[in-house]
Structure 1
Amino acid sequence: MTSLNHLRRRAAAFALAAGVCGCAVGPNFEPPPPPEATRFTPERTASPGNGQHFVEGADVARDWWRAFGSKPLDDLVRRAIAQNPTLDAAEAAIRVAYYAAEAQKGVSLPQISANSLSQSGVASNAIPSDPATQLTYSLFTKQIIVSFTPDIWGANSRSVESLEAQTQIQQLRLEAAYLALAANVVATAIEEASLRGQINAARNIVAIEKELLQLLRRQLASGSVSGADLLSQEAALAQAEEILPPLEKRLAQQRNLLTALAGQYSGDEIAETFDLRRLTLPRAVPLVLPAQLVARRPDIQAAQANIHSAGALVGVAVAARLPNIMLSANGGSSALNFGQLFAPGTGFYVLAASATQPIFDGMTLLNKQKAAEAGLGQAEAQYRSVVINAFENVADALRALQVDARAVQAAAKAEEAARRSLDIVRLQARFGHVNQLAVLNAQQTYLQASIARVIADSDRLSDTAALFMAIGGGW
């Protein structure tokens, strides 16, 4: 990261120099003003409650995922950041953009090259009656060529400015990749924990179904129940067991995804496992202000840098329509014999200056300028779209957390009521005081309530992680 920080400092320094350059034609970049919105939702955002609240304007830690209180999760996120090839590719993209800008800077400097020419030939006679009289000669020429094109209208400085903005975009994409990778690991880990919870709930109801099936078999032997009751319970057991294979398949796929996010091959599965009981719900959730969001989200900053790049290209297009001057000089020596190459009288030099002005080009340059101006308008519209989408992301996460708080509370009550009902029905079934339909209904209700409770808990964790990502993490 040290080399990347060096590149960033160089890019920022040149961007500042380009911004204060008064001789460059075209629009000078000015950051778009922050949006006038003062809130993310129509009404003032209320804390979700049920053990969780928002802290407006609070700072967000770069390692925000530690708020979930899981060391395995912290270890996995850090390993993913260290090993995931997506980040390596993003860092390489920064270097590509940086060196492209550095290469363009060289155009503003004098270009110097050396030329060496050695040739031999035979002069033609008008009537070659005697080939021996034809002149055979050699010519040796050594020269230095210098050319320089003054950047009168700032065409090259604008080109460099655009490329520097592209470098900044790649840097911001790297930050966005860090944020997205961390959020994906957290979301996938929570999904794994949710699936494990659902599997445990399904296995728990399967165990209850098997217990009741054994009871019905004993009661059938004693004539207390009919064969139809036994068959109904066997069908209920089979239905409960059908739930497990799809959940187990999804769990295996989530494990594969986590392994890939950690930058490892699927055969080298990660050692960390995740359980909802070992993930802590962040109680105090930071919530940035709308004006802060623009400065925090890397995608918004990248869209702003794209405006900078597009505006600089307008300057390049304008400069192409203006007069251009080129200065050149070359000097060296030329002789018929290599030993006389540096003798007196063999030297020469040429100084030249040329000026060009496009007169008629079929409207090519004008249309290129209009295309660049349209590109600037497109970049500005894309920036507004990114900002609007960012506000939507935050608003969605806020709404989700407010609903999640109520959903978790309701799911907990429903599961507790279903469990108590099933306990009563199971006890009544032992003494034959309830019919089999009531038993089946109680089992199904408890199974659904248990899985709904797990999903509600995991949704709340996932939506909390989504809010961290929506506000730009801690980059």
Structure 2
Amino acid sequence: MLQMPMLAGLCLVVAACSTTPPPAQVPAPVAPGWQAPLPHGGSVQDLAQWWTRTGDPLLVELIESAQALSPGLAQARSRIAQARASQVASSAALVPSLDGQASASRGLNEQLRSTATTAQAGLQAYWELDLLGGNAAAKTAADERLAGARVQWHEARVSVAAEVALQTSSLRTCLLQLDVAERDARSREETARLSALSERAGFTAPATAALARASAAEAQARQWQQRTQCDVDTKSLVALTGWEEPRLRARLAAQPAPVASDALFAMAALPAQVLAQRPDVYSAERDVAAASADVGSAQAQRYPRLSLSGSVGAASVRTGGVTTDLTTWTIGPLALSVPLLDGGRRAAQVDAAQARYDEAAALYRARVRQAVSEVEQALARLQGAGERNAIARIAAEGYRASLDATEARWRSGLASLVELEDARRTALAAENALVGLQHERMAAWVALYRAAGGGWNESSTP
């Protein structure tokens, strides 16, 4: 048994050592405000689940279905379970461990020179005194990684919601453009029919009638091309949501796209507030803290380690009808393990942990810069789409009026077919641009939703 002076000396040796991990937080300064204007001053509703306020129940159902089926969310939940298991394992290193042992045997006992039955049972305890905080640092690293894994689950939900919203908007835009293409094809077909009648009556040159037929054929080809694109978009949405295609087509036909709102959710005026809601930034920050704790844990391995063990046991020996019981217990040894020669292995582990910390810190700063840039770009696109919307509407209405007037003049013989086709082509391009701009604006809102973190906060993680 160790004497008290020796025990005190061991404690002093261990206490003289210390670990100095790098800081768990690193600075990543950001601008005091956004350079791009906020949509409507950010004076609309909350960011999280903004799709429930669009007046589009189909979009809500599609997002819920996609999130229920998403492999990304399943993977995120698996990572949470793994991180939680690692946290439990690291926590166990801070408390004593207790193992039970039992055995029984029968054979020749040399001392008694007879056959004997021996049974033993005992408890073995072990506890490493974490004087330098190495095990506590390992638990801190596990805690930080669990926090990072939990927030990645929310990031996966945001990604799925954004993807479904974009695909739904793309499909509905395609269907609107298909309607434009069908109306254009019918109009050109009617023009070709009238030109053919006029040609047979001798009032229209064959070349002019041929131009009308070619224009109608071109419109038919464009219509089929647009229809194919809509079919592809539909099948992509089916794959995302798991819906049956006939059901999806029926719902799309029964529920046309609602009028897009000018403002879907609020945006914080300060970049720091938005960054605090970014799951990836939070996760990167947790990675820095975990890497810092890993450095402290690796440093602790280079210093002496103090452990205490003990045991309690009972044995029974039966031979010749006589049973002998034995009970033993020990406290100790109090063991001190001092690293001497390891070929530089422990020092290399510290260097590796420090390198991982430096990498995590650099990635965190880069993630902050990227997050700010993504928000700024989304705000700029949203502002641009909003400014162009009114202009595009004026252009589409003007070109449509010009087409109607030119068609009336053509029917009266006051305009050539070339003039009519030119007016029709211009009006078609303007109308398609207006429809496409609606999708562009929705895409900008979705990009802003992702860039702003999807309304995450620490209480929203599983």
Q: Shared topology, TM-score over 0.5? A: yes
- CA shift, 1:142, in A, is 2.7
- CA shift, 1:28, in A, is 7.2
- CA shift, 1:456, in A, is 1.4
CA contact (8 A) 1:429 1:435 kept: yes
1:150 to 110, 118, 129: 129
Task: Please tell me whether residue 225 in structure 1 is matched to residue 219 in structure 2.
Answer: no
Matched to 1:172, the amino acid is V
CA contact (8 A) 2:375 2:448 kept: yes
- CA shift, 1:398, in A, is 1.5
CA contact (8 A) 1:168 1:302 kept: yes
Distance 1:270 1:329 in 2: 72
Task: Please tell me whether residue 321 in structure 1 is matched to residue 307 in structure 2.
Answer: no
- For residues 216 and 192 of structure 1, do their structure 2 counterparts lie closer, same or farther at Cα, with a shift above 3 Å needed? same
Distance 2:319 2:416 in 1: 117
2:219 to 218, 223, 240: 240
- For residues 307 and 67 of structure 1, do their structure 2 counterparts lie closer, same or farther at Cα, with a shift above 3 Å needed? same
Secondary structure of the residue aligned to 1:354 is: strand
- For residues 454 and 225 of structure 1, do their structure 2 counterparts lie closer, same or farther at Cα, with a shift above 3 Å needed? same
The residue that corresponds to 1:12 in the other structure is none
Task: Please tell me whether residue 410 in structure 1 is matched to residue 391 in structure 2.
Answer: yes
Task: Please tell me whether residue 37 in structure 1 is matched to residue 31 in structure 2.
Answer: yes
**Per-residue displacement from partner, 1:232-279 (whole Å, max 9, x unpaired)?**
122111212222333223322332333343354667647542887513
The residue that corresponds to 1:373 in the other structure is 354
Distance 2:20 2:200 in 1: 95
Q: Tell me whether 209-218 or 180-189 shows the greater mean CA deviation.
A: 180-189
Q: Tell me whether 148-157 or 376-385 shows the greater mean CA deviation.
A: 148-157
Secondary structure of the residue aligned to 1:172 is: helix
Task: Please tell me whether residue 164 in structure 1 is matched to residue 143 in structure 2.
Answer: yes
- For residues 145 and 342 of structure 1, do their structure 2 counterparts lie closer, same or farther at Cα, with a shift above 3 Å needed? farther
CA contact (8 A) 1:333 1:341 kept: no
Secondary structure of the residue aligned to 2:266 is: strand
**Per-residue displacement from partner, 1:208-231 (whole Å, max 9, x unpaired)?**
101101110111011111222222
The residue that corresponds to 1:278 in the other structure is 258
For 1:418-437, list aligned pairs within 5 A: 418-437=399-418
- CA shift, 1:393, in A, is 0.9
Distance 1:183 1:24 in 2: 48
Distance 1:328 1:241 in 2: 86
1:298 to 274, 279, 289: 279
Task: Please tell me whether residue 349 in structure 1 is matched to residue 329 in structure 2.
Answer: yes
CA contact (8 A) 2:195 2:209 kept: yes
Matched to 1:207, the amino acid is R
Distance 1:466 1:108 in 2: 45
**Per-residue displacement from partner, 1:23-55 (whole Å, max 9, x unpaired)?**
9844375444462412333xxx346xxxxx432
**Aligned residues with identical type, % of pairs:** 24
Distance 1:196 1:407 in 2: 22
Task: Please tell me whether residue 362 in structure 1 is matched to residue 343 in structure 2.
Answer: yes
Matched to 2:33, the amino acid is R
Matched to 1:111, the amino acid is S
- For residues 233 and 342 of structure 1, do their structure 2 counterparts lie closer, same or farther at Cα, with a shift above 3 Å needed? farther
Distance 1:392 1:276 in 2: 35
Matched to 1:352, the amino acid is P
Task: Please tell me whether residue 104 in structure 1 is matched to residue 90 in structure 2.
Answer: yes
**Per-residue displacement from partner, 1:130-178 (whole Å, max 9, x unpaired)?**
xxxx876554433321221111211211111111111111111111122
CA contact (8 A) 1:326 1:355 kept: yes
Matched to 1:181, the amino acid is V
- For normalisation by structure 2, the TM-score amounts to 0.85
Q: Kindly report the root-mean-square deviation, in angstroms, between the aligned alpha carbons of the 2 structures.
A: 2.9
Secondary structure of the residue aligned to 2:252 is: coil
- CA shift, 1:463, in A, is 0.8
Matched to 2:302, the amino acid is R
- For residues 295 and 64 of structure 1, do their structure 2 counterparts lie closer, same or farther at Cα, with a shift above 3 Å needed? same
CA contact (8 A) 2:105 2:119 kept: yes
CA contact (8 A) 2:132 2:300 kept: yes
Matched to 1:309, the amino acid is A
Task: Please tell me whether residue 209 in structure 1 is matched to residue 188 in structure 2.
Answer: yes
The residue that corresponds to 1:460 in the other structure is 441
Secondary structure of the residue aligned to 1:273 is: helix
CA contact (8 A) 1:24 1:315 kept: no
The residue that corresponds to 1:69 in the other structure is 55
- CA shift, 1:79, in A, is 4.2
- CA shift, 1:87, in A, is 2.8
- For residues 57 and 446 of structure 1, do their structure 2 counterparts lie closer, same or farther at Cα, with a shift above 3 Å needed? closer
Secondary structure of the residue aligned to 1:108 is: coil
- For residues 408 and 143 of structure 1, do their structure 2 counterparts lie closer, same or farther at Cα, with a shift above 3 Å needed? same
- CA shift, 1:321, in A, is 0.7
Q: Which runs of 5+ in 1 are unaligned?
A: 1-22, 48-52, 125-133
Distance 1:340 1:160 in 2: 54
CA contact (8 A) 2:106 2:116 kept: yes
The residue that corresponds to 2:311 in the other structure is 330
The residue that corresponds to 2:9 in the other structure is none
Matched to 2:434, the amino acid is R
Q: Tell me whether 66-75 or 454-463 shows the greater mean CA deviation.
A: 66-75
- For residues 299 and 81 of structure 1, do their structure 2 counterparts lie closer, same or farther at Cα, with a shift above 3 Å needed? same
Matched to 1:347, the amino acid is T
The residue that corresponds to 1:18 in the other structure is none
Task: Please tell me whether residue 178 in structure 1 is matched to residue 157 in structure 2.
Answer: yes
The residue that corresponds to 1:27 in the other structure is 21
1:310 to 264, 288, 291: 291
The residue that corresponds to 1:440 in the other structure is 421
Distance 2:27 2:284 in 1: 13
Distance 2:50 2:221 in 1: 38
Matched to 1:255, the amino acid is T
Matched to 2:163, the amino acid is N
- For residues 203 and 101 of structure 1, do their structure 2 counterparts lie closer, same or farther at Cα, with a shift above 3 Å needed? same
1:115 to 101, 105, 126: 101
Q: Tell me whether 273-282 or 427-436 shows the greater mean CA deviation.
A: 273-282
How many residue pairs are counted as aligned between the two chains? 436
